[in-house]
Amino acid sequence: IVLAAVATADDALAARAIADLGAPADRTEADLLLAAHLALIHDPEGWIAAPLDVERFRSWLPGDSSWAALIDGIEFMVAFVAGRSGVERSWWTGETDPAVLEADTARRDAIEALVNAMRGRGTRALDALHRRWRSHGLDTEPLFEVFILHAFVLVILGADDERLRVALRRRIAVARAADRQDQLHLLALADAALHLGRNDARSMFSSLQFVETEPRTYITIWLDLLRACAHVLERDLGGAAELLQRVDRVPDSWAGGSFGAVREIARTLFELATDQPTIASRRALVAAHRASEVLPAAALTLLRLAQTAGVPTDRLLERALVLAETADLPQLEPYIWSLRRAGDRIGLRSLEVLTPREREIVTMAMRGIPSAEIARRLHLSVRTVESHLHHARTRLGMKRSQRFADISPEASGPEPVPVLQAHGLLHPRLHTG
């Protein structure tokens, strides 16, 4: 009754049933009741209305070292998401404790990996995953909660691996056959986020259609945000605006501030799609600075979107180097390298001789955007754009026949860059094999 009430968001019934049950009789009941309590507190208002009573959970199975180790991990995760201090304590060293069950060690490692990924500690996150992969691969992981946490870690860090996509689709098929709607909600969320990193709106909608029942509020919020991004990629701006208006009601601080950071990505995408590059660039830079403290991976994505919006390379490089001082992201080093290569090709400081409008137009031209498209986005005539490009060539000492797209190492089309992972070199540690 408790689990059914939680699944259908009947929190009053769930609370009454939990009270009637009292303390669990064994580990199986303890696991089920813990899952119910966690579901009840995940909603945006839940952190205040129903704080997690960790000590109560510990008292369920006194003297059980394995259960205590799992509760340590839960406490660590909840403290991080709630933004409480003291999260930095070293609660887990990776040492093997024979009294702790293998499954509980795997759960604890997965929680550690997720928190580290959110904090921008890529190497530490992947090390935690690899401890489990020594005995179980991603696609053969027997514990669903461990698999889904591993999948989210890889998505956050920018993995784009065929085996991850196949593993998610296989799990979706199994969950559908077993009618496990609770698992389908999380799998659809991870799969859609993975395809968002590839700008693949069609696959995103395909993933989201597996959600056949109304999820808990905290999952619905993330699903709405992903749907908004998919609508932007499909140029359905009306549908995107409606969904963004809905998720705007959620506080920026929710989920440890990570939700606010990802929502800024969606807003920036929307502004790029509605031909507002100046507004998009400002939003992306401000949001990247804020995200560097709560979700560094989102900060990197926002810098890439700022690049699409026309922010000069030297300014992006400066921001990326600052981010690298505190974040260990597999995709960050290749991005910095690409910015430096762009600076070597044209001379970063040379752009300072251009006027702000010339710099904006040149940056877009360097990404391969045609003059007609630049004119349309900036509400200028094509002749005016060509005049600015001509003057910029003169100031930069370029030949009249030289194209800006030819000297840019990152020339691409006018489409937005990938959202939750970066195009280009994939760090070898991200391969899930």
* Structure confidence by residue, pLDDT tens digits, 343-367: 655 554 566 678 888 888 888 888 7
By C-alpha distance, which of 63, 72, 74, 85 is closest to 34?
Answer: 74
pLDDT over 70, % of the chain: 82
* Cβ neighbours of residue 253 closer than 8 Å, sequence gap 6 or more: 83, 260
The C-alpha angle with vertex 208 and arms to 204 and 213, in degrees rounded to 5, equals 175
| pLDDT > 60? residue 221 | yes
| Averaged pLDDT, 60-85 | 77
Residue 228 near residue 271, CB atoms below 8 Å: no
Q: Name the band, by pLDDT with cuts 50, 70 and 90, for residue 420.
A: very low
* Structure confidence by residue, pLDDT tens digits, 48-57: 344 567 888 8
Residue 269 near residue 232, CB atoms below 8 Å: yes
* DSSP label of 179: T
What's the rounded Cα separation, in Å, for the pair 425 and 433? 17
| pLDDT > 70? residue 2 | yes
* Structure confidence by residue, pLDDT tens digits, 313-339: 888 988 999 999 999 999 998 898 888
Lowest mean pLDDT among 55-64, 73-82, 109-118: 73-82
What's the rounded Cα separation, in Å, for the pair 404 and 158? 29
What is the per-residue pLDDT for 83? Answer: 59
What's the rounded Cα separation, in Å, for the pair 263 and 250? 10
* Structure confidence by residue, pLDDT tens digits, 172-196: 999 999 988 889 999 999 999 999 9
* Structure confidence by residue, pLDDT tens digits, 286-304: 999 999 998 999 999 999 9
**DSSP, residue by residue, 256-307:** GGHHHHHHHHHHHHHHHHTT-HHHHHHHHHHHHHHHHHH-HHHHHHHHHHHH
* Structure confidence by residue, pLDDT tens digits, 132-178: 998 888 889 999 999 999 999 999 998 767 889 999 999 999 999 99
Which residues on neighbouring strands pair with residue 121, listed in sequence order?
328
| Averaged pLDDT, 243-252 | 91
What is the per-residue pLDDT for 369? Answer: 86
What are the CA-CA distances from residue 378 to residues 230, 307, 364, 375, 384 (Å)?
Answer: 24, 16, 11, 5, 11
| pLDDT > 60? residue 432 | no
* Structure confidence by residue, pLDDT tens digits, 365-418: 887 888 999 998 888 999 999 988 988 887 776 766 777 776 644 433 333 344
Residue 426 near residue 160, CB atoms below 8 Å: yes
What is the per-residue pLDDT for 272? Answer: 93
- pTM score, whole prediction: 0.74
- Mean pLDDT (the chain) is 82
Q: Name the band, by pLDDT with cuts 50, 70 and 90, for residue 424.
A: very low
What is the per-residue pLDDT for 422? Answer: 35
The larger pLDDT score, comparing residue 75 to residue 243, is at: 243
| pLDDT > 90? residue 10 | no
Q: What are phi and psi of 331, to 5 degrees?
A: -85, -10
